[in-house]
Structure 1
Amino acid sequence: MCGQLSIALLEAPNDWLATLPSHLTGRRIVLATIAEAWTLRGPAFMKSPNDKSIAARVHLDGTRLPGPDEVDPETPVLVSDVVTFAEEVRLHVLDGDIRAARRYALSGRLAIAPASADALAFGKVRAAGTSARSCPWVTRRPRLKGGPQPLADDFVPVH
């Protein structure tokens, strides 16, 4: 269908999340190779940057990741601090304005719904001054250590 409409789907660069300022993400995120992640000896949230080849979840340590018999050691992986979010709301931001939003989870459990006024206000403060490029990003209000499961994309326009 994209070809019929002369459009293409956008895919963020592998390091996109890792290059966001920590005041937007609320945690440390780094892009590493899976070979580097294999050396981790503590829990971390890890996932593939743009596909589902590495399960997006909290891994107890790097030894629990797929090994060299399953993946290329140069495979990119995002590694993040382990957190649990009170509320997970995903936002699409363009030129500092929220263009679409959707709540995904409450306390790490799937709870898809329109974004609340409080979540939108929280996101507007964080979105102010973002770059002119269109950048979908997640606004999450941290609560306790733990790890939410990733959720499917489903955005609604914000007017």
Structure 2
Amino acid sequence: MPTLIFTPRYTVDSQALWKAAGKIGWRVERLAGWRVPDHLREIPDPIFYGEALFGPVLAEQLGLALISPSEDWLVNLPFEYRSRQISMTTLGLARQNSQPRFVKPPNDKSFPASVYRGSELPTEYPDDMPVLVSDVVVWQKEFRCFVLNRKLMTYSIYSRFGELQEAQGFASSVDEHQQLEAFLSRLLADQRVELPVATVVDVGTIAGDWACVEQNAAWGAGIYGCDPAKVLEVLAHSSLRVSCNS
């Protein structure tokens, strides 16, 4: 029987997943601190869900290797699926940009993803830190999509023109669903697009055209209005068992 393991941080998402796990008979454990206790290090089928900052350390203690997207995934994505120029460079080179650019760390949130001029980028990080730099675009709407074996499992809108849609109940229209599913169908069927077994792909529209926002690790992604039971199916494949470490 799988055991779903949460960090000590209580969130709406973890509570929804806890309830869904209970309904299908999974065990659930919430860590009391930022170290895995001995009695959880030997459980046969751990499944981790939590914050990206602590995830890899806690997963190692559980004997898990977490599955995350490659840092250059967006750069290598065919242009028809990203609809903007994106490059991977270093923070030092990005600091030389005089024009506004959208800059983000590839796979973490060490500093906020946002539009920066070079002089506005944070100074507390080293020049050789990798960053993604892209054209400044306006996302009209953005959806989170949980994907398993290149199959769309569940999805939810999370933003309209940068505004979180929680107060609106993450509501979206049938027409939006049809357009999203058509775009994802093309992307997931395209073998040029490399994807892990379990992942999250965020997509949205730029001037009415669908495009990928980014790819995220499923084990640390917020679920917004997604079906928690379907999210669990993805989480069950979002890590690999390696060994138990003390």
Band the TM-score falls in, shorter-chain normalisation: 0.7 to 0.9
Task: Give 2:177's aligned residue.
Answer: 117
* Greater percentage in helix: 2
- The reply on whether 1:127 has 2:188 as its aligned counterpart is yes
Tell me: CA distance 1:8–1:43, structure 2 relative to 1, closer, same or farther (3 Å).
same
Segments of 5+ residues of structure 2 without an aligned counterpart are 7-40, 47-62, 209-213, 215-220, 232-246
Tell me: CA distance 1:53–1:131, structure 2 relative to 1, closer, same or farther (3 Å).
closer
Task: Give 2:239's aligned residue.
Answer: none
| TM-score for the superposition, normalised by structure 1 | 0.77
Letter in 2 for 1:105: S
- The reply on whether 1:139 has 2:208 as its aligned counterpart is no
1:28-53: per-residue Cα shift (whole Å, max 9, x none)? Answer: 22111100101111111111112211
Q: Summarize the alignment of residues 36-47 of structure 1 with structure 2, pairs less than 5 Å apart.
A: 36-47=93-104
- After TM superposition, where is structure 1 displaced by more than 6 Å over at least 4 residues in a row? none
**8 Å Cα contact 2:69/2:107 also seen in 1:** yes
Measure, in 1, the Cα distance between the counterparts of 2:89 and 2:78. Answer: 17
Q: Which has the larger radius of gyration?
A: 2
1:43-68: per-residue Cα shift (whole Å, max 9, x none)? Answer: 11111112211211111x1110012x
Tell me: CA distance 1:65–1:41, structure 2 relative to 1, closer, same or farther (3 Å).
same
How many residue pairs match? The answer is 149
Letter in 1 for 2:84: R
**8 Å Cα contact 2:97/2:118 also seen in 1:** yes
Secondary structure at the counterpart of residue 70 of structure 2:
coil
Segments of 5+ residues of structure 1 without an aligned counterpart are 145-149
- The reply on whether 1:153 has 2:222 as its aligned counterpart is yes
Letter in 2 for 1:122: F
Measure, in 1, the Cα distance between the counterparts of 2:85 and 2:146. Answer: 21
Tell me: CA distance 1:74–1:131, structure 2 relative to 1, closer, same or farther (3 Å).
closer
